[in-house]
Amino acid sequence: MKINPNIFRGYDIRGLVDKDLNPKIAEHIGKAFGVFLSRKGIKKAVVGFDSRATSPEYSQAVIKGLTWAGVDVINIGLNLIGTFYWSQYYLNCRGGVYVTASHNPVEYNGFKLANDFSETLVYENLQELKQMIEREDYEQDAKNGSVQIRDIRQEYFADLLKKLPITKRFKIVIDPSHSTAGVIAPELLKKAGCQVVESNSILDSSFPLGTPDPTSMAVASRLREKVLQENADLGFSYDADGDRIGIVDDKGNIIWNDVLVALFAADVLREHPNATIMYNTLCSKAVEETILKHGGKPFMWRTGHSFLKKKNQEVKAAFIGELSGHFFFSADFYNHDDGLYSTLRLLSYLAKTNQSLSSAIAAIPKYISSPEIKIYSADEYKVDLIKKINPALKKDFSGAQIIDDERAGDGVRVDFEDAMFVIRYSQNAPYLTIKFEAKTDERYNYLKKYISKLLHSYQEVDWLSSINLNLEALK
């Protein structure tokens, strides 16, 4: 079967609706993945989906393909990705498919394919699946798999609240940008005893306010305004599948998620002294400084939740955090990211320590930091572009620490004593990601001008694309 090979990305499948993806292609993905699972002795899979317009239809097509291949399916319907991962344990399903394009724009959809508990396919296995589909290397099972519909949401809520009871009545703003978390997060937080102010929580698959992305300045600024207007204790935003969060504190400060990585690390190290804490290359220098201050062992690794989860099988970190808002409380929960668990974990920490979020953040080393910036570069250009940028950075910053090995994976990190910046290409979309920080305004502005000038010198960068995010941070 002919299929766009570029939809098979670093750790999931993502493509344009009605161009790269349609129900027929989704069914073939289900057939191939069903055979892939069967060949590994896995004959049961859970299926769920996010609130995108095509997600219910694609999930039904995937189920048709899986059952054709003889795999029994438990359909949990509309849920968050964290609920999907949790359900693997609860329902004892090593296999699974979750239909989502995460934080990609509205015209995209895609699939996360689980082949073990808390584990999804990464590049090598996705390429194998692509080849199976291209060759139609799959055969119908002698007996079709069964389909069972299960509503497991209340059991999921009960488990989270048992693990993380909240002892303080917080006033919280929830803004999921009209995506999946809008019909799930408020209910959980009300059950936790919080006073919840819902903002943009009604589901609308057209994403009328733009892509649900907690790293977007537009989303963060909107959340800040609502927190201040409501005099709330803090605010949370979520992406479309709910594995990532964004936060604003009681004073209206936007807290980028690498700072939250540092805060969570301090919390985890209270309960797991001397533990290893893993974080991705995009994170602030404040993360390593906080880990060392609290007696932990810092371990930096490449960006991408599947890469981090895979590496943790070796590293055994108690906690993993990413700038994008993926958090894994591996020692206390499971080795996967769950935005609602992260939400409750933060509230639990603030309640236990009797702090406001702003006072807790004040203890973290301060850097002037950009948001996560995304600039379009086509899939066929972005990898070679990083190869061009790398020697330029080594030449211009010969005295800095250049990290371009396996830890960086898909980009370059430049570290100074008082600053750092990262330029990398995305594994799951056609863009570059940029992040920079410094101790002083002067140093920050120098890096901003340097990065902007450097990237403007390459024709492979499209400054007018609708995919671009937070470009104002480079002006």
| Nearest alpha-carbon partner for 240 in 33, 434, 14, 470 | 14
Q: In sequence order, which residues have a C-beta less than 8 Å from that of residue 356 and are 6 or more positions away?
A: 233, 249, 250, 350
CB atoms inside a 10 Å sphere around CB 320: 30
Look up residue 400 and give its two tokens.
């800095």
Q: Please identify which of the residues 59, 87, 102, 377 carries the catalytic annotation.
A: 102
Residue 102 bears catalytic tag: yes
Query: How far is the C-alpha of 223 from the C-alpha of 166, rounded, in Å?
Result: 22
- List, in sequence order, the alpha helices (H) in 91-248: 123-135, 153-163, 185-191, 217-230
CA atoms of 416 and 400, how far apart (whole Å): 6
Q: What b/e sequence results for 432-453 when a residue is b if at least 16 CB atoms lie within 10 Å of its CB, and e otherwise?
A: bbbbbbbbeeebbeebbebbbe
Helix (H, G, I), strand (E, B) or coil at 251: coil
The answer to whether the beta carbons of residues 54 and 25 sit under 8 Å apart is: no
Query: Are β-strands 147-149 and 171-175 bridged in parallel, bridged antiparallel, or unpaired?
Result: unpaired
Q: How far apart are CA 426 and CA 16, in angstroms?
A: 16
The alpha-helical segments, DSSP class H, found in 136-279 are 153-163, 185-191, 217-230, 257-271
Query: Which DSSP letter does residue 6 get?
Result: G
The C-alpha atoms of residue 219 and residue 127 are separated, in whole angstroms, by 34
Under a CB-based contact definition with an 8 Å cutoff, are residues 414 and 402 in contact? yes
Query: Any residues with CB less than 8 A from the CB of 449 and at least 6 apart, and which?
Result: none
Q: Hey, which residues are catalytic here?
A: 102
